[in-house]
Amino acid sequence: MKVSKEILNLIPYSPGKPIEETKREYGLDEVIKLASNENPLGPSQKVVEALRKALPDLHRYPDASCYELKQKLSRFYEVPTDWLTFGNGSNELIDLLIRIYCESGESILTSDAAFVAYGICAQAARVRTFRTPLTSDFRFDLSAMARSFHDHATQEKIRLIFIANPNNPTGTYVTDAEVKKFMASVGNRDDVLIVFDEAYFEFVRANDYPRALDLVKEFSNVVVLRTMSKVFGIAGLRIGALVARPDVVDLVNRVRNPFNVNTLAQVATAAAIDDSEYLQRVQQTNWQGLDYYYSALKNLGVDHWPSEANFILIDTHRAANDIFEAMLKRGVIVRPVKIKDPATHIRLSVGLQRENEAAISALKDVLKELPSIK
Ligand SMILES: *Cc1c(COP(=O)(O)O)cnc(C)c1O
């Protein structure tokens, strides 16, 4: 059978290495996974209770419209219910947006070192990905993106612009002023949608972080994505939210599978957003962990970037895969990332304090063991 070159050349998304696999392969009793930006506290007890109550009804199909959840989240996000829909993780929403708005041969625009799902979903839909370079401080360069859009939009048919804010794997963000300027240049157009992927929204501390939900009200062509995987600690249930004008939401609802969001994901999310105490604990744990990483990495003299998310990007100046392997041997799973050639960066998620300390201690040993390549 003939399959398109885009499909044949697809490199599957590589998930963080699983804990059990690492234990088996390296003969370890304890393994710490800091590779997938998961919530180290586990889900809220209120979520676990709500899930237990929902179990006897699992013979029923899920509510295809997520009615109850939509009512609740519309109050939480302060948007009308018909401005909201859900996906099987925000990953599915990224995939759906590309399938809806891009024809084969058309393009999306994002940045170098952007969240990898954009490029993978685009390629699977035979859609090309244009990327602008990062700024020198490893942030999305919105001026360059606006310029690139205006230079190439007609010829390359750029239909979607993806801005991960904060971005994964860099942890950096774009400011309110930068976004305002960007929207003045690309806002309210009917030939392109601007997608703000806010997977790490609740972890942000910067006070010049933009309010993308307000942009959905101000501009006709803005989409905001949120996920329940990170701050709410339910990555295993797969649910993400999309906020946009009703015309966009309507198209997503036509194309998505009717039961793309399962019953337990709906129940868990409704319980999670009510538990503000849990949310605060998650934020405090994360911020203390990040501050610990900053000071520990500074003491070690290791290059890193300030993060508004629940992970930190580190330049080890060693081959990233060698660092990854050496850390694995010490029972710590990190994520090697390729930002330049050769790849020397790793991404380290924030865990519990003892996990963070174990990671730093392993990193310290590993950096001594492996020679610097710079
Ligand atoms: C983790 C992440 C997502 C969310 O993925 P889910 O499919 O909702 O689990 C989306 N965008 C970015 C930038 C991420 O890092």
Which of 17-21, 54-58, 309-313, 348-352 has the lowest average pLDDT?
A: 17-21
Between the alpha carbon of residue 328 and those of residues 38, 39, 285, 318, 350, the distances in Å are 18, 20, 24, 15, 17
164 CB near ligand 1 (under 6 Å)? yes
Structure tokens at 108: 């999306």
Q: What are phi and psi of 195, to 5 degrees?
A: -105, 115
91 CB near ligand 1 (under 6 Å)? yes
Express each pLDDT in 184-230 by its tens digit: 999 999 999 999 999 999 999 999 999 999 999 999 999 999 999 99
- Which residues make Cβ contacts (< 8 Å) with residue 9, sequence separation at least 6? 123
In this predicted structure, the answer to whether residue 374 has a pLDDT above a threshold of 80 is no
Q: What are phi and psi of 104, to 5 degrees?
A: -55, 130
Among 88, 111, 168, the mutation site with the greatest number of ligand 1 atoms within 8 A of its Cβ is 168
> In the chain, pLDDT over 90 holds for what percent of residues?
90
pTM for this one? 0.96
- Which residues make Cβ contacts (< 8 Å) with residue 270, sequence separation at least 6? 50, 68, 69, 72
89 CB near ligand 1 (under 6 Å)? yes
* Residue with CA nearest ligand 1 atom 12: 199
Q: How would residue 155 be classed by pLDDT, with cut points 50, 70 and 90?
A: confident
* Residue with CA nearest ligand 1 atom 15: 168
240 CB near ligand 1 (under 6 Å)? yes
Q: How far is the CA of 122 from the centre of ligand 1 (A)?
A: 16
CB 266 within 8 A of CB 241: no
In this predicted structure, the answer to whether residue 12 has a pLDDT above a threshold of 80 is no
